[in-house]
Amino acid sequence: MKKKTRKKARPASPAPKKRLSRIPKKKLLLLLLSLLVFFSIYQIAIHFRAGWILHVYCISAGALAIAYIAINRGMLSPPDRDRLPDDWSEEKKETFLQEQLVRRRRSSVLLYFLIPIILSVVYDMIYIYLTVNMGLSL
């Protein structure tokens, strides 16, 4: 009869590192903090039956969204140098691209206000739908 021998266990391979370092932690913390502030203000106003807060949040969300688009000149991503007009000089193209980067940084500040406002209103709408229309008690 053959003897059964145990195979040596391989050393555990290290788990692949997730790319958490790519997540901007400072920006995420700032976004969560602003969400906490805007959501708290919204819920306190709702608690004290200030129904006008919904209108204020919706109007400000619309105004911030329009401002974000206007500051970015309607561009979601920065244009390539190749897509700029051929009659522009290299200096003018470089100036335009640098200006676009500055506009992008400035408009990103608006997102710290826009995203929490939208999420607060969306949460409230879902809450109202589930409690009033579906009859759930949350």
Compute the distance between CA of residue 137 and CA of residue 47 in angstroms, rounded to an integer.
17
Residues 31-78: tens digit of each pLDDT = 999 999 999 999 999 999 998 999 999 999 999 999 999 988 887 777
Number of domains in the chain: 1
pLDDT at 125: 92
Domain-embedded: residue 14: no
**What contacts 24+ positions apart, CB below 8 Å, involve 91-100?**
100/73, 100/75
Range of the domain at 30: 26-133
Domain-embedded: residue 10: no
pTM: 0.73
Compute the distance between CA of residue 116 and CA of residue 118 in angstroms, rounded to an integer.
5
Domain-embedded: residue 43: yes
Domain-embedded: residue 115: yes
Domain-embedded: residue 109: yes
Domain-embedded: residue 1: no
Domain-embedded: residue 73: yes
Tell me what percent of the chain is helix, strand and coil, each rounded to the nearest 5.
65, 0, 35
Residues 121-130: tens digit of each pLDDT = 999 999 988 8
pLDDT at 67: 94
Domain-embedded: residue 39: yes
CA 112 from centre of chain: 8
